[in-house]
Structure 1
Amino acid sequence: MLIPLANEPRDYAWGSTSLLADLEGREPADHPEAEVWFGDHPGDPAETWDGRTLDRWIADDGAASGIDGPLPYLLKLLAAASALSIQAHPSKAQAEAGFAREEAAGIPRDAAERTYRDDNHKPELIVALSETFRALAGLRELDATRRLIAALGPGAAPLAERLAEPDASLSAVIGWLLSDGADVARDVIAAAVAGESDEFAAELELARTLDAGFSGDPGIVVALLMNLVTLRRGEGLFVPAGVLHAYLDGLGVELMAASDNVLRGGLTPKQVDASELVSVLDPTPGVPPVIHARTLGRGIRQYDVPVEDFALLAVTAAADGVDVTLAGPAIAVATDGAPEVAGLASGSASVLVPGAAVLVTPDEGGLRVTGEGELFIALPGR
């Protein structure tokens, strides 16, 4: 079966009034549109053609089509006009322990002070749909960060001293900045706002932008320790457990394990639990994990990620049809043109305009994609 899905954009403050509207060919919204969720996550399940939410449809009718439980992934369209919070996500074991601890403490799952809202991990992949998509991802190599902080002069001296230690721990530095380093952070931010550096001009310009929106936030200094990444259309960024990241601006397709566990590290009015963030943080510096799609066949590309929760395909339609074999329940969302999708088993067909999505049940075995356009397909990993 092909089950049409729809959902309303979530109006987070960092959302864009125009990115989703431009994708869908409509007038800009009068409020931020940040994310559209296509999945059965109870936080905001998609709606099916008959008015039921997708989680309800799967509970009622999914078994008859080969779906034996909740989807292991959540697919989104994400439209950022300004920075999301700096954050990291726990591993599966950390999520299970944290969730059990907060359940035992009797903290309501929707409470502002709640950190672990479920017992799952949340690795995630984002693929740029806009011509550029900027993000912070992972911690920069330490020698480069030392050069950046040194370029800021005396105002950043206390931070430079901590980073200069031979056994400098980035997780310890981040924990200090977020818990006890507010005064130092303000001085570093002031130095960054006024600073100049040919090597780190983009990073300093970002600091100025962030300070305009989050004045004095220690997360701005955390951002100076991170890799600044610019994705081109079609490039992906994979964020595993423990990796610090923040999306800055652009439109993308985001796919993640079905979880809502977030440990924040600044650039947000929400709770920042520095000690818990540090406990899940992977402090290993390195290059950001940018992913280029691998060609599987004519018109079919795959973004390879090392998790079993999800896989992501990008499909370019063809006039004579492209057959895509799918194992397990899949969700397809169109991002360009008007491709027609038809179930391989039933022949049931639907034309998808940009922003429209369908659930493809396992008994179809896959899709034939005809016409012109592009779509992304989320499915369980192998």
Structure 2
Amino acid sequence: MHRLTNRVRPYAWGARAAIPRLLGTEPDGSPQAELWLGAHHGAPSTAHCDGGDRLLPDLISADPHRVLGHGTAERFGSRLPYLLKYLAAEAPLSLQVHPDAERARAGFEAEERAGIPLDAPHRNYRDPHHKPELLLALEPFEALCGFREPAATVADLIGLDNDLATALRDDLSDSDTHAALRAALTRLLTLPASDRCRMIEEFVREWSGGGGRGPHAEIVTDLAARYPGDPGAVAALLLNRVTLWPGQALFLPAGNMHAYLQGTAVEVMASSDNVLRAGLTAKHVDAPELLDVVDFSVLPIPYAQPGFLDGRREFRPAAPEFALHEIGPGRITAHLPGDGPTVVLALHGTVDLVAEVGEGVTLGRGESVFVQADSGPIKVEGHGHVIAATVGDHERARV
């Protein structure tokens, strides 16, 4: 087992105090949005080893079959296939969607052939991998997730007379729900530059003046104030509003349009940074690419249901790269799953990781370790709250 030092991503939407509170450091007044625990090249963790500190991807690549286990190395090569994050949102994230594996691979290869630098602001695909993700709320967490019935949006637009509302009602009246949602989102993302700000301002003025209704009434007004002239504020009306309570989780597969609005959570995802944005951001928006990736199906809110095994709750969604395990809070006696490399984060309390082979580790709040596949069974004891990420089920591997 190797203790980890992890990097914080200071995105503008991040909370000021949540991650410092987890880590026991003083807030410096700047946003601290995500704590990354893993081997992604964007912000790899550092593993503390007997022979000195090593970046986690270097530790893995030196002996992938021993560190990851033969099965994981055969399936994913010399890379940790998942990334664990502690996420603290004080303001809304961008309205976004993730590509499937085939689209990510093709998009990455096309941009590589075109010679687009990996750090170019207009680049869509920064690696050749898809990015399904699971989010587990640690406190009440607000999100927009997946398309709701077009009729629900039409009902919220009744009584609005501005040009954009009228056009959206027409789009959403198509009896084919896929066509209706595609037409409405396409309209919003391709508004003429000369008219976009005026049309959105007129919509928001009428909406905020008493015309807005339903569960999105305050959301549209708030998003429009944060992102003036951004069509994403209106596009929010197409999506389900979701409130997660602590312990509830969402699984977001490829094509699911979503935006996290506020709260603290942990995320585990396939190790990728591929994000296609639709709005609520100053970053690049590639409307044609996004519209080809979005799944316009109306589906139930994708709550993830846990199983219970060996003293832990575990989420094993339809993603071969990852599973998420929760132990506690409270007095705990449990075992980590022994099916590959594991990243463990203590959210609070003090817990002992007891190894049958080799030395154990004691973790306090905000501390983390990387458990190699060859470490053998690990028992978790103490009083606290622990999150662990592991590789997903082999039978869910992609063809």
The Cα of 1:296 is off from its aligned counterpart by 2.0
- Which residues in structure 2 correspond to 1:255-274 (within 5 Å)? 255-274=268-287
- Which residues in structure 2 correspond to 1:215-230 (within 5 Å)? 215-230=228-243
The Cα of 1:206 is off from its aligned counterpart by 1.0
CA distance in 1, matches of 2:120, 2:348: 39
CA distance in 2, matches of 1:66, 1:25: 30
Deviation larger for 286-295 or 69-78: 286-295
2:327 to 307, 315, 339: 315
Q: Does 1:189 align with 2:189?
A: no
2:86 is aligned with what amino acid?
L
- Which residues in structure 2 correspond to 1:279-290 (within 5 Å)? 279-290=292-303
Q: Does 1:17 align with 2:16?
A: yes
1:354 to 362, 365, 387: 365
Q: Does 1:90 align with 2:99?
A: yes
The Cα of 1:232 is off from its aligned counterpart by 0.3
CA distance in 2, matches of 1:139, 1:377: 31
Partner of 1:51: 53
The Cα of 1:63 is off from its aligned counterpart by 4.0
Partner of 2:150: 142
Contact 1:317 1:370 in 2 (8 A): no
- Which residues in structure 2 correspond to 1:1-382 (within 5 Å)? 2-49=1-48, 50-67=52-69, 68=73, 69-130=78-139, 132-154=140-162, 156-167=165-176, 168-180=179-191, 182=196, 183-196=198-211, 200=214, 202-297=215-310, 299-316=311-328, 321-346=333-358, 348-382=359-393
The Cα of 1:118 is off from its aligned counterpart by 1.0
Judging changes above 3 Å, is the alpha-carbon distance between structure 1 residues 149 and 324 closer, same or farther for their aligned structure 2 residues?
A: same
TM-score when normalising by structure 2: 0.89
**Equivalent residue of 2:290, what SS?**
helix
TM-score when normalising by structure 1: 0.93
**Equivalent residue of 2:54, what SS?**
coil
CA distance in 2, matches of 1:162, 1:188: 16
CA distance in 1, matches of 2:284, 2:331: 51
CA deviation map 1:262-285 (0-9, x unaligned): 110000000100110000000012
Contact 1:6 1:46 in 2 (8 A): yes
Q: Percent identity?
A: 39
Count of residue pairs brought into register by the alignment: 376
Contact 2:151 2:173 in 1 (8 A): no
The Cα of 1:23 is off from its aligned counterpart by 3.0
CA deviation map 1:291-319 (0-9, x unaligned): 2322224x311113111110111112776
Partner of 2:397: none
1:110 is aligned with what amino acid?
D
Contact 1:86 1:219 in 2 (8 A): yes
CA distance in 2, matches of 1:336, 1:115: 37
Partner of 2:396: none
CA distance in 2, matches of 1:357, 1:76: 12
Contact 2:231 2:279 in 1 (8 A): yes
2:209 is aligned with what amino acid?
A
CA distance in 1, matches of 2:377, 2:40: 23
CA deviation map 1:157-204 (0-9, x unaligned): 121121123334312321221112625433322232223566x1x411
CA distance in 1, matches of 2:190, 2:123: 18
Judging changes above 3 Å, is the alpha-carbon distance between structure 1 residues 194 and 51 closer, same or farther for their aligned structure 2 residues?
A: farther
CA distance in 1, matches of 2:332, 2:269: 32
CA distance in 2, matches of 1:66, 1:266: 38
Contact 2:162 2:202 in 1 (8 A): no
Judging changes above 3 Å, is the alpha-carbon distance between structure 1 residues 344 and 138 closer, same or farther for their aligned structure 2 residues?
A: farther
CA deviation map 1:322-379 (0-9, x unaligned): 2233201110111121111122433x22122222111111112332111101111101
1:70 is aligned with what amino acid?
R
Contact 1:295 1:301 in 2 (8 A): yes
CA distance in 2, matches of 1:230, 1:29: 29
The Cα of 1:66 is off from its aligned counterpart by 4.5
CA distance in 1, matches of 2:22, 2:370: 20
